[in-house]
Amino acid sequence: MAPPTKILGLDTQQRMLQRGENCSLKSLVQNECAFNGNDYVCTPFKRLFEQCMVKDGRVLNIEVTNLNTNR
């Protein structure tokens, strides 16, 4: 299981990004699976993240996936 992830509000993220630099777009593909009674049917979907180095040395990942990402 993944470790707990702190959820930041939009205003907090924007303040942190103002102090950051060196941002790049990252993506990953996940599968959403459902059992239809006989088989598992899996549908891949993409998630996009902006990864920025904050000036205190931390890396900030902000999900920027929107409704048009998987169309």
Helix/strand/coil percentages in the chain, nearest 5: 15, 50, 35
Q: Does 10 fall in a domain?
A: no
Nearest of 38, 22, 21, 28 to residue 70 by alpha carbon: 28
Number of residues written out for the chain? 71
pLDDT of 41 reads 95
pLDDT of 63 reads 85
Number of domains composing the chain:
1
Q: Is residue 3 helix, strand or coil?
A: coil
Q: Is residue 61 helix, strand or coil?
A: strand
Q: Is residue 15 helix, strand or coil?
A: helix
Q: What is the pLDDT of residues 14-68, one digit of tens each?
A: 666 665 557 888 999 999 999 999 999 999 999 998 888 877 788 888 888 888 8
User: Which residue range forms the structural domain that includes residue 54?
Assistant: 22-71
Q: Does 68 fall in a domain?
A: yes
pLDDT of 30 reads 94
User: Whole-model pTM?
Assistant: 0.63
